[in-house]
Amino acid sequence: MRILFIDSNHPLLHETLEKAGYTCDLNYHWSEDEIKSNIHLYDGIVIRSKIKITKEIIDKAVNLKFIARAGAGMENIDVTYAESKGIKCLHAPEGNKDAVGEHTIALLLSLFNNICRADKEVREGKWIREGNRGVELMGKTVGLIGYGNMGSAFAERLKGFGVKVLAYDKYKKGFGNDFVIETILEQIFAEADILSLHIPLTDETKYLVNNSFINKFKKNIYIVNTARGKCLNTDDLVKNIKSGKVLGACLDVLEYEMTSFENLDKNNLPEAFQYLIQSDKVVLSPHIAGWKKESNEKIAKVLAEKIINLK
């Protein structure tokens, strides 16, 4: 079986597959036209975020048996069309769930304890204690939307903080455990101090969190998004930060991303983003929640196993 690697990955992935008898072509620098011209030669492709696997590409991939994404999200693959053609679509959320769980904790604690601002001030020779008085996580109620690999990893890491964790997942039932209380959205609206998103980007979840959604919460809240940028309407987020309804936000992802943060146009930043980067009520990171040294290797291992198990 011949596999085309469109994006670079941890070498463990192609090395494991080659040991299992696969031929791996590492054509990371191919253009989209080159991919379209040659994809008919391959039984499988491995991608990250370089291109979208569209109907047009799938129609040219006449011998394709699988599409494997080295990561969690599948929004850059037309999964429905691929599967209608008998092509298996694989991903590896098990590989970076621990990284995302830890990073989400880090963002939240940084926000609550003014870490970014305080660090900057100390480096400037400023010693401001009262102005950096923080907020404890203990005693808060955290509401999770989505309880898959990422949501459950975050919930597990919240266990020692003395918080109440509520989770709603439209497509899962019976998942309540020692880490989380399974619930309905209405309870999250009524009780949550913190909203954390752990959902894929789909037509259903695009801009799920907008002005109307935010104002269904009884309390003023903090919002954490380590899922996908377009699950949260940034204009509405800024509007509610300004009004005080949103007390702060932790964002690893932004709706302005194309397929990766590298495509963000620094010379043409939207007004809402200009506000975010100037606000000390916001902690930002460049889509790196799942981007750890260990998770890179774990993703490779998980994906290799899934590909081999297709035989």
Amino acid at the residue 109: L
Express as a percent the part of the chain with pLDDT over 70. 97
308 sits in which H/E element: helix 293-308
Q: Is 32 part of the annotated catalytic residue set?
A: no
Alpha-carbon span 168 to 147, nearest angstrom: 7
How many other CB atoms are found less than 10 A from the CB of residue 129? 7
Mean predicted confidence (pLDDT) in 11-25: 97
Single pTM value for the model: 0.93
Decide if pLDDT at 19 tops 80.
yes
- Over the chain, what is the mean pLDDT? 95
Count CA atoms closer than 13 A to 130's CA, side-chain side: 0
Decide if pLDDT at 93 tops 80.
yes
Mean predicted confidence (pLDDT) in 243-267: 81
pLDDT digits (tens, 9 = 90+) for 94-104: 999 999 999 99
Mean predicted confidence (pLDDT) in 288-306: 96
Domains and CATH numbers, the chain: 2-91 (3.40.50.720), 95-284 (3.40.50.720)
Q: List C-alpha distances in Å: 281 to 100, 132, 219, 248, 303.
A: 21, 12, 17, 5, 38
| DSSP states along 87-130 | -EEE--HHHHHHHHHHHHHHHHHHHHTTHHHHHHHHHTT---SG
Catalytic residue, candidates 48, 117, 198, 228? 228
Q: Is 133 part of the annotated catalytic residue set?
A: no
Catalytic residue, candidates 257, 262, 294, 297? 257
Q: Is 257 part of the annotated catalytic residue set?
A: yes
pLDDT band, residue 50 (cuts 50/70/90): confident
State the pLDDT at residue 266: 64
State the pLDDT at residue 263: 57
Decide if pLDDT at 262 tops 70.
no
Residue that the structure tokens 């259903």 belong to: 204
Phi-psi region of 5 (alpha: psi -120 to 50; beta: other; left: phi over 0): beta
- The tokens for 37 are 């011209």
Catalytic residue, candidates 287, 294, 297, 305? 287
pLDDT band, residue 260 (cuts 50/70/90): very low
Decide if pLDDT at 49 tops 90.
no
pLDDT digits (tens, 9 = 90+) for 188-241: 999 999 999 999 999 999 999 999 999 999 999 999 999 999 999 999 999 999
pLDDT band, residue 268 (cuts 50/70/90): confident
